[in-house]
Protein backbone atom coordinates (compact mmCIF):
# COMPACT_ATOMS: atom_id res chain seq x y z
CA UNK A 1 0.00 0.00 0.00
CA UNK A 2 1.49 3.34 -1.03
CA UNK A 3 2.20 5.68 1.88
CA UNK A 4 0.75 8.69 0.03
CA UNK A 5 -2.54 6.97 -0.87
CA UNK A 6 -5.60 8.61 0.64
CA UNK A 7 -8.06 6.02 1.88
CA UNK A 8 -11.79 6.07 2.45
CA UNK A 9 -14.39 3.69 3.87
CA UNK A 10 -16.25 1.31 1.60
CA UNK A 11 -20.03 1.26 1.71
CA UNK A 12 -19.76 -1.81 3.95
CA UNK A 13 -17.38 0.15 6.18
CA UNK A 14 -19.86 3.00 6.48
CA UNK A 15 -22.58 0.49 7.37
CA UNK A 16 -20.30 -1.04 10.01
CA UNK A 17 -19.81 2.34 11.67
CA UNK A 18 -23.57 2.88 11.73
CA UNK A 19 -24.67 -0.64 12.76
CA UNK A 20 -21.68 -2.22 14.57
CA UNK A 21 -22.50 -5.56 12.98
CA UNK A 22 -19.24 -7.18 11.87
CA UNK A 23 -16.23 -5.97 13.83
CA UNK A 24 -15.69 -7.60 17.19
CA UNK A 25 -12.38 -5.83 17.74
CA UNK A 26 -12.59 -2.40 19.33
CA UNK A 27 -9.14 -1.55 17.98
CA UNK A 28 -10.11 -2.38 14.38
CA UNK A 29 -13.26 -0.31 14.75
CA UNK A 30 -11.15 2.60 15.98
CA UNK A 31 -8.88 2.24 12.95
CA UNK A 32 -11.93 2.24 10.68
CA UNK A 33 -13.08 5.44 12.37
CA UNK A 34 -9.72 7.04 11.51
CA UNK A 35 -10.27 6.44 7.79
CA UNK A 36 -11.90 9.65 6.61
CA UNK A 37 -11.01 10.15 2.96
CA UNK A 38 -8.51 12.86 3.92
CA UNK A 39 -5.70 11.01 5.69
CA UNK A 40 -3.05 9.15 3.75
CA UNK A 41 -1.64 5.75 4.65
CA UNK A 42 1.42 7.24 6.34
CA UNK A 43 -0.70 9.40 8.65
CA UNK A 44 -3.09 6.54 9.37
CA UNK A 45 -0.21 4.25 10.32
CA UNK A 46 1.16 6.91 12.69
CA UNK A 47 -2.26 7.24 14.33
CA UNK A 48 -2.61 3.46 14.49
CA UNK A 49 0.69 3.23 16.33
CA UNK A 50 -0.54 5.85 18.81
CA UNK A 51 -3.60 3.73 19.65
CA UNK A 52 -1.60 0.46 19.73
CA UNK A 53 -3.37 -1.00 16.72
CA UNK A 54 -1.75 -3.95 14.97
CA UNK A 55 0.51 -3.02 12.05
CA UNK A 56 -1.73 -4.95 9.66
CA UNK A 57 -5.01 -3.36 10.78
CA UNK A 58 -5.63 -1.69 7.41
CA UNK A 59 -5.04 -5.00 5.65
CA UNK A 60 -7.39 -6.77 8.07
CA UNK A 61 -10.12 -4.25 7.25
CA UNK A 62 -9.48 -4.73 3.54
CA UNK A 63 -9.82 -8.50 3.93
CA UNK A 64 -13.23 -8.00 5.57
CA UNK A 65 -14.24 -5.74 2.66
CA UNK A 66 -15.20 -2.99 5.08
CA UNK A 67 -11.86 -1.36 5.16
CA UNK A 68 -10.25 1.47 3.41
CA UNK A 69 -9.82 1.63 -0.32
CA UNK A 70 -7.76 3.97 -2.40
CA UNK A 71 -9.92 6.49 -4.28
CA UNK A 72 -7.79 6.24 -7.42
CA UNK A 73 -8.13 2.45 -7.44
CA UNK A 74 -11.90 2.81 -7.18
CA UNK A 75 -11.83 5.14 -10.18
CA UNK A 76 -9.75 2.63 -12.15
CA UNK A 77 -6.60 4.76 -12.31
Decide if 16 is inside a domain: yes
Decide if 31 is inside a domain: yes
Distance CA 10, CA 62 (A): 9
Q: What pLDDT was estimated at residue 65?
A: 84
Q: Rounded to whole angstroms, what are the CA distances from 11 to 26, 28, 29, 70? A: 19, 17, 15, 13
Decide if 2 is inside a domain: no
Domain that holds residue 36: 7-74
Q: What pLDDT was estimated at residue 66?
A: 82
Decide if 38 is inside a domain: yes
Decide if 49 is inside a domain: yes
* Confidence band, pLDDT 50/70/90 cuts, at residue 40: very high
Decide if 65 is inside a domain: yes
* Confidence band, pLDDT 50/70/90 cuts, at residue 75: very low
Which pLDDT tens digit goes with each residue over 44-56? Answer: 999 999 999 999 9
Decide if 29 is inside a domain: yes
Q: Considering its fold, how many domains does the chain have in total?
A: 1
Decide if 1 is inside a domain: no
- pTM summary value: 0.84
Amino acid sequence: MRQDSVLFKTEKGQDEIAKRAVLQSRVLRNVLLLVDGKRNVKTLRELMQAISAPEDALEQLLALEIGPVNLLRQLGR
